[in-house]
Amino acid sequence: MPELPEVENVRRNLESMVVGRTIASVDVRLPRIIRTPDDTVRFAAELAGCTIQSVSRRGKYLLFSVPPYTLVSHLRMEGQYLWVAADEPVAPHTHVIFHFDDHTELRYRDVRQFGTMDLIEPGQPLPKGLLALGPEPFSEDLDHDGLYRRVHRRTASIKAVLLDQAVLAGLGNIYVDEALFRAGIHPARPAHQLTRAEAQTLVKAIREVLTEAIEAGGSSIRTYVDGYGRHGGFQIRLNVYGRQGQPCQTCGSEIVKLRIAGRGTHVCPLCQPKSRRHEAVRERAGKGEVSVP
């Protein structure tokens, strides 16, 4: 599933590709992609003649400003936007086509068909999932102990809590695993056990990994491409995600894959101690005093 870095790269591409372009017509080929309104003929008719003014992002949602409307798009598992010339052959699994008046098109392609679009009228509430989002990882709401305040009463694993979009917007399986590795925190640790210092370290790790991933164009683990059809480059820099059975690039221990919060989770057992007892063992091992089982 595209996470914050991938969606942010798509947003940046769309901003350069489609802002200022006027929609001549819309072709909806798979009606269930459109949630609001529940009439696809009306969806297309309302957008005809509108000009895209901006493209913003909130969590994993894209928001197209198409006055007087806001078009909210969620890519879900494999949604993709591609901007092409109108005479370009239409690829399989293309479900919505925005025809512009300059003979270019913005095409929405989705093999899994889980993506959604909502055309929001002035005064109409945004989709519930969007309204329920927590702060952005780069938000000022996450000051030095902001994350600690959001997690210190939660008994679930820190992995599960970070995946909760109401706690922090935009994170998914890849970047939660990577941030926890950088912070030296085991993903199965109960969230309420994190100290303020660990929470501060984790915020720093989250911001670092997201920044680097955005700059690298995101991670193309399976099918992700940006608006120009380009793959991301961050997948070659992942420390733990997808590297089970391989040596940790920090300590040499074998990366293991666990099931935590219902998700495949990648961990270095030495760099990410599961408990304070294991942390003490890790520190002693680092001094050559003991081997870690």
CATH code of the domain covering residue 61: 3.20.190.10
Confidence of residue 226 (pLDDT cuts 50, 70, 90): low
The reply to whether 80 and 157 lie within a common domain is no
Q: Is residue 259 part of a domain?
A: yes
Does 2 participate in catalysis according to the annotation? yes
pLDDT tens string 114-161: 999 999 999 999 999 999 999 999 998 787 688 999 999 999 999 999
Q: Is residue 136 part of a domain?
A: no
Structural contact between residues 21 and 51, judged by C-beta atoms closer than 8 angstroms: yes
Q: Is residue 106 part of a domain?
A: yes
User: What integer pLDDT is reported at residue 99 of this predicted model?
Assistant: 98
The reply to whether 246 and 197 lie within a common domain is yes
Q: Is residue 155 part of a domain?
A: yes
Active-site position among 5, 6, 46, 60: 60
Q: What is the DSSP letter of 85?
A: E
Whole-prediction pTM: 0.87
Residue 196 has pLDDT above 70, yes or no: yes
Active-site position among 3, 46, 78, 105: 3
Q: Is residue 138 part of a domain?
A: no
Q: Is residue 216 part of a domain?
A: yes
Of 88, 104, 131, the one marking the end of a domain is 131
The reply to whether 167 and 113 lie within a common domain is no
Instruction: Locate all alpha helices (DSSP H) within the chain, ordered by sequence.
Output: 4-18, 40-47, 128-131, 146-151, 158-163, 173-183, 196-215, 276-286
User: What integer pLDDT is reported at residue 224 of this predicted model?
Assistant: 54
The reply to whether 188 and 94 lie within a common domain is no
CATH number where 178 lies: 1.10.8.50
The reply to whether 70 and 179 lie within a common domain is no
User: What integer pLDDT is reported at residue 236 of this predicted model?
Assistant: 78
Give the mean model confidence (pLDDT) for residues 169-194: 96
Residue 210 has pLDDT above 60, yes or no: yes
Cα–Cα distances in Å, from 288 out to 120, 172, 271, 282, 285? 61, 36, 15, 10, 5
For residue 258, what are its two tokens? 């666990």
Give the mean model confidence (pLDDT) for residues 46-62: 98
Does 42 participate in catalysis according to the annotation? no
Q: How many domains does the chain have?
A: 2
Instruction: Please state, in angstroms and rounded to a whole number, the distance separating the CA atoms of residues 240 and 227.
Output: 27
The pLDDT mean for the chain works out to 89
Structural domain range at position 52: 4-131
C-alpha dihedral sign at 226, 120, 29, 53: negative
Of 98, 131, 164, the one marking the end of a domain is 131
The reply to whether 256 and 154 lie within a common domain is yes
In sequence order, the 6+-apart residues with CB closer than 8 A to the CB of 160 are 191, 260, 261
pLDDT tens string 96-112: 999 999 999 999 999 99
User: What integer pLDDT is reported at residue 155 of this predicted model?
Assistant: 95
User: What integer pLDDT is reported at residue 280 of this predicted model?
Assistant: 47
Active-site position among 12, 21, 263, 274: 263
Burial bucket for residue 19 (CB in 10 Å: 0-12, 13-18, 19+): middle
The reply to whether 116 and 229 lie within a common domain is no
The reply to whether 180 and 211 lie within a common domain is yes
The reply to whether 10 and 76 lie within a common domain is yes
Residue 229 has pLDDT above 80, yes or no: no
Q: Which residue has the higher pLDDT, 69 or 289?
A: 69
Of 131, 166, 201, the one marking the end of a domain is 131
